[in-house]
Amino acid sequence: MDDLSTEAARRRAIALATALATNTSLAPQAYERTLLERYALGELTLDQVLQRLDTRVQQLFYRSRATQAFAEDHLRALMDESRAHNEAHGITGVLCYSERQFVQLLEGTPEHVHALYERIQRDPRHAQVTTLYDEASGQRFFANWQMGFVRVDADEFHWVLTSLARPSDDQELARQYVQDPALRLLLEAFTRA
C-alpha cells in the first residue's frame, strides 16, 4: 500500500475511492465527504473515519421552553459544551432559539442520540421537553454541523412549529414564508419524512 502520511497521498486515495463509487449507492454523501475531508487534512485517522461511518441515522426532534432567558454568553457556553460532546460521538444537528423556546434536531446512531436526549431532558435549563419526531433515516440533514445554532425570528419559528404539527398544505405555505436557511432545512427534512 502507498504511504498515506502526506495530505497529497490521502487526497489521491480519496479521489480514487470516490471515483470507483461514483453513481453507486456507495457514493459518499455529505456527512461522509466531511469525514473524508477531515481525514485528508490529518484531523481524523482512517480508523476514526471508519468508526463514524454509520449507516443507521436516528433523527430526533424536540421542542422545549427555556426556564430562564438565555443571554448570549450562556448560549455560547452551551454550544461549546455541546459541540465537544457531539463531535466525540458523531452527533450532528441544529439548535434553534427564539424568545425562550428551543427546537433541536439531533442526528446520529440511535444509541448516541437517545443517550444524549436523556441527558438533555434532565437539564434544568429548560422544561416541557416534547418529542416531535424520533425516527430512523437514511440521511443526515445537518451533516456539516456538529451542532449548528441559530437564533431565529419569532414569526418564522412559529410558522415552522405550527406547520410541522399540521398537514402538508401548511408546510408548503411555511416553506414559502420561512427565509432562515436552518429553518428551511428543518422544514425540508420533515416534509420529506
Ligand X SMILES: Cc1cc2nc3c(=O)[nH]c(=O)nc-3n(C[C@H](O)[C@H](O)[C@H](O)COP(=O)(O)O)c2cc1C
Tell me which residues touch ligand X (CB under 6 A): 78, 82, 85-86, 95, 102, 104, 116, 119-120, 123, 125-126, 147
For ligand X, the closer of residues 122 and 192 by Cβ is: 122
Smallest distance from ligand X to CB 168, Å:
28
182: helix, strand or coil = helix
Beta-bridge mates of residue 58 = 108, 136
For ligand X, the closer of residues 119 and 192 by Cβ is: 119
Cα separation, 94 vs 105, whole angstroms: 5
Whether 98 contacts 151, CB under 8 Å:
yes
For ligand X, the closer of residues 39 and 142 by Cβ is: 142
Pairing of strands 57-66, 101-108: antiparallel
Smallest distance from ligand X to CB 59, Å:
13
For ligand X, the closer of residues 14 and 57 by Cβ is: 57
Smallest distance from ligand X to CB 116, Å:
6
Where b means 16+ CB within 10 Å and e means fewer, 89-113 reads: ebbbbbbbbbeebbbbbbbbbeebb
Smallest distance from ligand X to CB 98, Å:
12
